[in-house]
Amino acid sequence: MIDLTTEQDNILKTAIKQFGADKQMDMVIEECSELTKAILKYRRSNTIENAEEILKETADVFIMLRQIGFIFAPLKFDMNGEASAKIARLRTTLEK
């Protein structure tokens, strides 16, 4: 979906160090809220401007979720495995 360079990842890691993990987690909440509002606004009016706002907010959420991944990286959680399992479960649901 979105490919980040090593330099861009390093910028995100620097933001965590500079602002702190708690502040960045607060930003995740804020950005998710803004995406929610953009989606609701689009559903009310269905304009291209509203659709573009959804995509802009999605980029913001992606960036913040990437930082969440860095914050919790020491847990060695298998995010790919978790996502694969959830998609497999969705596939089963869709095949019913």
Q: Give yes or no for residue 25 having a pLDDT over 80.
A: yes
Tokens 């706002």 — which residue?
A: 53
Whether this model's pTM surpasses 0.85 = yes
User: Region 49-53: what's the mean pLDDT?
Assistant: 91
| Token output for 52 | 């573009």
What is the rounded distance in angstroms from the CA atom of residue 48 to the CA atom of residue 41?
A: 11
Looking at residue 11, the DSSP 8-state letter turns out to be H
- Residue 47, pLDDT > 90, answer no
pLDDT average, residue stretch 33-47: 94
- Higher pLDDT, residue 29 or 48: 29
Q: In this structure, what token pair is assigned to residue 22?
A: 């708690």
Residue 44 has pLDDT above 80, yes or no: yes
Q: Dihedral (C-alpha) 28, 33, 36, 37: value to the nearest 10 degrees?
A: -140
